[in-house]
Structure 1
């Protein structure tokens, strides 16, 4: 198991799909592998402190059973020289866990990671000090994600309110951008995919895949928002994609964005960069 001896676990039982029994189950599974792990199952208010304490303990492996936001925060705290992380699917979208382990339950993902895993240095994107290892959506289609989350959580009224807000914001602030110092162009939104998940890039490509999304109306924006989140957005007729090292994006106002499935607000002028080494991940072979 790659010399793994010291293990820290952060299990967010308030997350999308983590049962109350998960921390004990995790501890038992690790014990069966001969690993005596420290498991933290914090309340929502104490999640950040728990995560920081786990990283400060300098384990050989940090296991995250939580949503994409917690997994991304762990990667930011660990960096390429800190603890190796195992992001297990414990949220709603689970973009990073699915990219690393495929779509499978966390118990199966953990078993495969401990029996067949290897260390992988993962590259990806960085914007305003935030990293992403799966992908990012910048622009008004990112506003549809909160509505979709509410619908998935069985909250139709909240989903409708958020959808109306996204519709009001659509087409009110097109983005200007350039790729690697190229010409200044316009788009409704920008999508950046990392080598970990891009079908157009090899994992050692050394670049992001950048796509400008241009739409003609609300129906197109809704289709793009859905396709970008759950399907192959390259199939959409409004997509133009290319490789990218640095992209400059600006707008008349702050830019809504999704970074690995987590909603953030960026400045009106921002820069997305490819970073070759973001974090060390306990990955599994792609053919499993």
Structure 2
């Protein structure tokens, strides 16, 4: 059974430009960490400062690096720390918070941090790599990735913006299918591909040494609309037009740049992208796995 790690020095970075953290969170974090008997240094970062603040925190070589920010900042911290650096505690301080919710559940950051400090254990985390960009939860490549910005607009109550983004996603449907090759398998074509890390996959065990690759291949506009709707309100992986299996390496190419979402962050990839499994990206302070 994993043992609770000894934590005597903590560095924390609060990104107040991430959309979900504020100066009040900084004060509350200082007060919370002060109650655990560890030496804690809390830094506040605004836009343009985050890389410098993260580097300073990692270079201080603490036992634990606490990140209250969005998924992009959490991924950057994990990449900087690496498997030999400090443990990471990624807390929900952004808009989507895919990584914190996958690790701690959809709970407020104070509850997640308290539980991690009192009952957490060290866990290695693996992930994927695309064009030098890490993802620790999931990556979606292809036209359905364009539904993610629409979903965010719905969550924020910006219905006019959501409708505009939905129209854009609809226009891209079937406009350019992806070509792909998974591991040593044959080449194929699909509307989109998704790669899920063990942290997020319901089909893979936490200790699995691969990604889960999901092939999204609707045959009609109606099926594409159904998947797009599920991207807004449900789990698109349960759709009958989606098939999935383990994958360690993949190559994806298309006639034009590929829209993608990496851990909730929309990006544009080149016309030819390689996807690779990384078995050990960083160490997490995470809840203890329950038997069964």
> TM-score band, normalised by the shorter chain?
over 0.9
Whole-Å separation in 1 of the counterparts to 2:48 and 2:161: 23
Q: Is the partner of 1:2 in helix, strand or coil?
A: coil
CA change 1:227–1:115 in 2 (3 A) is same
Within 5 Å, give how 1:103-252 maps onto structure 2: 103-225=106-228, 227-228=230-231, 231-252=234-255
Whole-Å separation in 2 of the counterparts to 1:76 and 1:223: 36
Whole-Å separation in 1 of the counterparts to 2:71 and 2:226: 23
Shift of 1:115: 0.7
Runs of 4+ residues deviating >6 angstroms: none
More moved, 149-158 vs 271-280: 149-158
Report what 2:12 is aligned to: 9
More moved, 109-118 vs 37-46: 37-46
Confirm or deny that 1:18 pairs with 2:12: no
8 A Cα contact 2:192 2:215, kept in partner: yes
More moved, 224-233 vs 206-215: 224-233
Confirm or deny that 1:42 pairs with 2:45: yes
Whole-Å separation in 2 of the counterparts to 1:218 and 1:67: 34
TM-score, reference length from structure 1: 0.93
Shift of 1:17: 2.7
8 A Cα contact 1:58 1:83, kept in partner: yes
Whole-Å separation in 2 of the counterparts to 1:240 and 1:274: 19
Q: Is the partner of 2:218 in helix, strand or coil?
A: coil
Report what 1:277 is aligned to: 280
CA change 1:217–1:47 in 2 (3 A) is farther
8 A Cα contact 2:143 2:173, kept in partner: yes
Report what 1:98 is aligned to: 101
More moved, 170-179 vs 23-32: 170-179
CA change 1:227–1:2 in 2 (3 A) is same
- Structure 2: tracts of 5 or more residues without a match: none
Report what 1:32 is aligned to: 35
- Structure 1: tracts of 5 or more residues without a match: none
Whole-Å separation in 1 of the counterparts to 2:156 and 2:64: 31
Question: RMSD of the TM alignment (CA)?
Answer: 1.9
CA change 1:81–1:157 in 2 (3 A) is same
Q: Is the partner of 2:23 in helix, strand or coil?
A: coil
Confirm or deny that 1:66 pairs with 2:66: no
Whole-Å separation in 1 of the counterparts to 2:222 and 2:244: 21
Shift of 1:172: 1.4
Q: Is the partner of 1:45 in helix, strand or coil?
A: coil
Whole-Å separation in 2 of the counterparts to 1:52 and 1:147: 33
Counterpart pick for 1:51 among 42, 51, 54: 54
